[in-house]
Amino acid sequence: MSFTILAIFVIVGIIFDVVGIAVTAASEAPFNSMATRRQHGAAEALRLIKNANRVTCYCNDVIGDVTGIVSGTTAALIAARLMDGFNSESLMFPVIISAVVTGVTVGGKAIGKTLAFNKSTEIVHGVGKMLHLMHIMPFASQEKEKQEKEKQDKPDKSEKQDKQDGNEQSNE
C-alpha cells in the first residue's frame, strides 16, 4: 500500500509539471478558433494560457514542490520500515529507494517536458475539457474584479458630458 501511495505522489508531481510546461508552451491562436466554434474546454484553456505565469507557478512550483517533499518523506518511511522488517542497520534500503524514487521522478519529468513541448495544444485542451466537465472556470473571479475596477475608474459618457458642460459654463 505504501508503494502505491508513493507512486501516486510521484505521478501527480509529473502530471502537474507537464501541465505547467504545456500551458507555458501553448499558443492562444488555436484556442481562439476553438472558442469561436464553442468547443468544450476552449474557453478554459484560453484562460489558462492567458494566466500562464500563475498556472506555471502553481503547477510546477507549488504542487511540484509539495509532491516532491511528500514523496521523499514517503520513501524515507518505507526505507525505515524495510530496515525494521529485515532487522538491518544497513544503508542499502534508504539508498536504493531514494535512487529509484529520484530516478523515476526526474526521468518522468524529463519525458513529460518533452511531451509537453511537443503536444502542448492537446494537453492544454485536455485540461480545459476536464475543467469544463467539472464546471471550473479558472481565474474567472479575478477577471470580473478587473472589469468592475475598470468600470469604476472610467466615468460614464453622461458624467463626461456633465463635466464638459460644467467647464464650458465656467469659461463663459
In the predicted structure, residue 21 carries a pLDDT above the cut 90: yes
My answer on whether 27 and 108 are in the same domain is yes
Residue 128 CA, chain-centre distance (Å), reads 11
My answer on whether 108 and 164 are in the same domain is no
My answer on whether 52 and 105 are in the same domain is yes
Which string of b and e fits 91-104 if b means at least 16 CB within 10 Å? eebbeebeeebeeb
pLDDT tens, residue by residue, 70-123? 998 999 888 888 887 777 777 777 888 889 999 999 999 999 999 999 999 899
Q: Which residues form the domain of 155?
A: 141-172
My answer on whether 54 and 116 are in the same domain is yes
My answer on whether 93 and 146 are in the same domain is no
My answer on whether 145 and 131 are in the same domain is no
Question: What's the structural domain count of the chain?
Answer: 2
Spatial distance between the Cα atoms of 93 and 137, rounded to a whole number of angstroms: 45
Cell, residue 114: 518533452
My answer on whether 28 and 75 are in the same domain is yes
My answer on whether 167 and 89 are in the same domain is no
> Rounded to two decimals, what is the model's pTM?
0.73
